[in-house]
Structure 1
Amino acid sequence: MVYQRLKDSILNGTFPPGTKLPSVREFSEQLNVGQSVVREALTALKAMNLIVMRQGEGTFVQSFDPSELAKSFQFTPMRPDEIRSLLELRKILETGIARLAAARRSDADLSRMRATVDQMQTNEPTVGEEADWAFHYQIAQAADNPFVRSLIDTIADQMKGALAASRQTLFRIPGEAERLRQQHVEILRAIADRDEAGAASAMLAHLTHVEARLEVPEQYLPAQHRTPND
């Protein structure tokens, strides 16, 4: 995956801080992938504050603290009741956000979301969690409302923690990974079709499904969330 390869090249020092990265065209030729794939990878790296894009100058690797970067991928475990409370809030917020995204999304927004949904097919847990979060955040960006983005930013850490914890439970259920990916595909399809009601409905169906699937027998829960007598 291009995103992972570029991120690894930055983190392992192949592209140290201050380095001017090759152009999108050059990366495309070097990696034998389309330029849109490279742009999506660079957008993700920019969101992580690993690179900065300077108009008229190019793209440069930023200085970063490895310990702080590692912390950004470590989330405080959330209890099942906390996850369900957050899901209640997300159903209120994200159905409306999906409706706005369907009305306002740009072709670039759509391209980013498609690339992210493609990443969900990976078997690498960390990449899957990042893609799941990125997809929902990209929908908020596509809604084109600064207050929506600000609101999502305020609960970003909780959302990431809930995604990490809930995936431990959900992905133990046979076939659930593909069901969840397909739900994201349906949300994406409605947004692509500018179907506002369909996007809101698909988002609500997805979050309601996750909420229901978390009501599973305790043996499916991660060990730290089981009762002492389990």
Structure 2
Amino acid sequence: MTNQQRPLKQYEWVMNDLKERMLDGRLAPGDRLASVVDLAAQYNVGRSTIREALSALKAMGLLNIKQGGGTFVKAVPPEAAPVHPMQRYDDLWEGRAASLRHLLEVRRVLETGCAALAALHRTEEDLAVLEKLLEEMENSDDEHFIEQADVKFHQQIAAATRNPLLLELMESLSSRLHENMKDMRALWFYAERSSAERLLQEHIRICEAISKQDAREASARMDLHISKVEQVLSENKAGDHHLRMT
């Protein structure tokens, strides 16, 4: 899937691409979709992304998913006919970009301070947990599992501050953090034109600064980690803010 535009979230891009295929007749009622494994390879995304897209299409009444029997296209109801496709992408982006920007501002204020305090107060047990999460992020090929490990990594940094109020604040953002992590990872890959390896290295550098008990460096590394996504958001202007599959 090369040079096709998609909104920020991967499953939305897959969902809309499949929907377009149904609307223009490339996928006809009764057609059986490829397996989740084959679709994941076709779209170059994880299996969990494909499952999210299929579940959304099923909720729209466009797919019939038979347990153990495959996924089949249903007749497209008239109300599913789209407005101009680019308008749909623009609407999706504008709402998500504003929400992402606001949460990134909160994360910068909260997490740079958490990183600094964690460097001062962390224990060997904290480091062991952080290193285990980094290992899980490095060795897993399940993007949903990696995103969960990413959230836990940032929450463990808050726990290492030994300030229960900071941990409570991070945990209160847990569900929003999970969605934000998906967006951050997608934007990071776009900005770096690279793989998950560079993103993993950023986490490793944060952990190393905390391990060395260098509060200033830990805060700076966290700030850099968050700033990159803010930079990509600000650089993507109207009409040119869609990420591309490579």
Task: Note the alpha carbon deviations across 1:192-219, whole angstroms, 9 max, x for none.
Answer: 0000111111111111112223444433
Q: How does 1:126-137 map to 2 (within 5 A)?
A: 126-137=144-155
Unaligned segments of structure 1, at least 5 residues: 1-76, 223-230
Query: Could you list the per-position Cα deviations for residues 101-152 of structure 1 after superposition, in whole angstroms to 9, with x for gaps in the alignment?
Result: 0000000000000111122223321111011101100000101111111111
- Quick one: distance in 2 between partners of 1:106 and 1:93? 20
Superposed displacement of residue 175, structure 1 = 1.1
Give the equivalent residue in structure 2 for 1:149. Answer: 167
How far, CA to CA, are the matches of 2:102 and 2:162 in structure 1? 26
Would the alpha carbon gap of residues 153 and 184 (structure 1) be closer, same or farther in structure 2, given more than 3 Å must change?
same
User: What is the distance in 2 between the residues matched to 1:85 and 1:182?
Assistant: 25
Matches within 5 A, 1:63-142: 79-121=96-138, 122-142=140-160
- SS of the residue corresponding to residue 120 of structure 1 reads helix
Equivalent residue, structure 2, for 1:192: 211
Q: CA deviation at 1:178?
A: 1.9
SS at match of 2:213: coil
Counterpart of 1:54 in structure 2 is none
Percent of aligned pairs sharing the same letter: 34
Name whichever of 114-123 and 141-150 sits farther off: 114-123
TM-score (norm 2): 0.55
Q: Which residue of 1 is the match for residue 199 of structure 2?
A: 180
The 5 Å alignment of 1:37-56 reads none
Contact 2:187 2:229 (8 Å CA) reproduced: no
Q: Partner residue of 2:180?
A: 162
Higher relative contact order by CA 8 Å / sep ≥ 6: 1 or 2?
2
Provide the alpha-carbon RMSD of the alignment: 2.1
Counterpart-to-counterpart distance in 2, 1:178 and 1:211: 20
**Counterpart check, 1:203 vs 2:222:** yes
Taking the aligned partners of 1:141 and 1:166, their CA distance within structure 2 comes to 22
The corresponding residue for 1:72 is none
Secondary structure of 1:175's counterpart equals coil
* Greater C-alpha radius of gyration: 2
Asked if structure 2 preserves the Cα contact closer than 8 Å seen for 1:116 and 1:135, the reply is: yes
Distance 1:202 1:150 in 2: 23
Letter in 2 for 1:137: Q
Q: Give the letter for the 1:154 counterpart.
A: S
SS at structure 2 position matched to 1:218:
coil
The farther-off stretch of 201-210 and 115-124 is 115-124
Amino acid at match of 2:203: H
Alignment TM-score, normalising by the size of structure 1: 0.58
